[in-house]
Amino acid sequence: MHRDRCLALDADDPLRAFRSEFVLPEGIIYLVGNSLGALPRGTAERVRRTVEDEWGRQLVGAWNHAGWYEQPLTLGDRLAPLIGAGPGQVVVGNTTSIVIYQAVAAALRLRPERRVIVSDVRNFPTDHYMVEGLAGLHGGYEVRDLAAGRFDDAAVVLLSEVDYRTGARHDVPAVTAEVQAAGALMVWDVCHSVGAMEVDVSAADFAVGCTYKYLCGGPGAPAFLYVNPRHHASAENVLPGWHGHAAPFAFEAGYRPAADIRRFVVSTPHVLSMAGLDAALDLWDRVPLDLVRAKSMALTSLFIELVGDALELASPREAAARGSQVSYRHPEGYRIMRALIDRGVHGDFRAPDLLRFGFAPLYIGYADVHDAAATLLEVLEKELWRDEKYSQRLAVT
């Protein structure tokens, strides 16, 4: 597609106005919004307010008067519509790894007669590590790979809606129904789908996700945990911290869980990180997710079309079957990515051989896709990646 046509698509883009709500450095095309989302313009002021007005002026009183104590629940309610959940069903806090642990452990206790955990060995490693750690701690569990395709004796199945490597997307309603029909509980990780499409985990038993990727909550922004209301009274929090207690400020010697979703809160919220997420949610309140998905499919399809067969595609070719990223395989993928970044096109690399390009529809346009593909083709055609300086690995790839 010609660049002029891309500019025309940008001019007609109903999401175009959102781009100016982000701080984006001049001269780069940022295709790593699937790893760390860009900075929303409102964030700095929101964090400043928390630091100066709330902490600085109200001191400890801010726990009551600035709503800090309730943040895990109030932000959970604000985030819920992004994953098809309702109020009182989501808590915000901790990291994705920790909420995965909470969700899978709670599911195991709800199915005490079953001793199998199904996990995907190709999932983001922390998800699988957490499952193996849990199985090791509690003893007597078999961790079975998804590829075995058997759920009939499983207690719980943990999967990511969108694969972090290839961007391949599971059919959430179909898989959830299949898993539950087999008598197992379903835990979805939506790290790579939330904010990139309409997510609906309402039929699942539990769901987890992070807020620093497409949601743009900021580096280290807290994770979230959805618990289906049918489990609120029975599911246990294996990390029974004081903020999940029925009466935290009674300081009782014994743990009594709160009756509602609060029982999944662990302890003191990360107030400054919560402020960053709060600012991002001000933006998400206004975002039409159906348009985000439509644009995401168009951007990723355009990139695939423009790159053609210059690289081996690792993502599904059909737009509906992938998330908002496109991945390619190349044995020199690391050096190619470094050469691209040197020329202002930022993607990332995942071992052993994947180049990843994430397209965040709120701030990436069609002309960006055109220019990124043109730069990639030039790096490949002229073999610019062969420069020695690109072979040395940085700590974060």
Ligand X SMILES: *Cc1c(COP(=O)(O)O)cnc(C)c1O
- Residue 130 CB, shortest distance to ligand X, in Å, is 9
Are the CB atoms for 330 and 356 separated by under 8 Å? no
Question: Does 273 contact ligand X by CB under 6 A?
Answer: no
Question: Does 325 contact ligand X by CB under 6 A?
Answer: no
Total interface residues for ligand X by CB under 6 A:
13
Catalytic pick among 120, 163, 189, 348: 189
Smaller CB separation from ligand X, 189 or 205: 189
The rounded Cα 382 to chain-centroid distance in angstroms is: 35
Distance (Å, whole) CA 62 – CA 91? 20
Q: Which stretch binds ligand X (CB under 6 A): 91-99, 195-203, 304-312, 331-339?
A: 91-99
124 given a catalytic annotation = yes
Catalytic pick among 18, 22, 101, 124: 124
Which positions from 187 through 206 interact with ligand X, judged by CB under 6 A? Answer: 189, 191-192
DSSP secondary structure code for residue 397 in this structure: -
Preceding omega of 229 cis (within 30 degrees of 0): no
Task: Give every CB contact of residue 314 below 8 A, 6+ residues apart in sequence.
Answer: 165, 166, 327, 328, 329, 354
Tokens read off for 35: 């790893």
- Residue 167 CB, shortest distance to ligand X, in Å, is 11
100 residue type, one letter: I
E strand or H helix that includes residue 366: helix 366-381
Strand order in the sheet with 348-350: 312-313, 325-329, 354-358, 348-350
Catalytic pick among 30, 101, 141, 212: 212
Which positions from 96 through 115 interact with ligand X, judged by CB under 6 A? Answer: 96-97
- Residue 392 CB, shortest distance to ligand X, in Å, is 25
Which positions from 41 through 60 interact with ligand X, judged by CB under 6 A? Answer: none
385 residue type, one letter: W
- Residue 16 CB, shortest distance to ligand X, in Å, is 28
The rounded Cα 121 to chain-centroid distance in angstroms is: 18
Strand order in the sheet with 90-92: 90-92, 224-227, 206-209, 185-189, 154-160, 116-119, 142-145
164 given a catalytic annotation = no
41 given a catalytic annotation = no
Smaller CB separation from ligand X, 164 or 385: 164
Distance (Å, whole) CA 62 – CA 174? 45
Which positions from 126 through 165 interact with ligand X, judged by CB under 6 A? Answer: 126-127, 160, 164
Helix, coil or strand: residue 263? helix
Q: Where on the chain is the footprint of ligand X (CB under 6 A)?
A: 95-97, 124, 126-127, 160, 164, 189, 191-192, 210, 223
**Known catalytic residues?**
124, 189, 212-213, 356
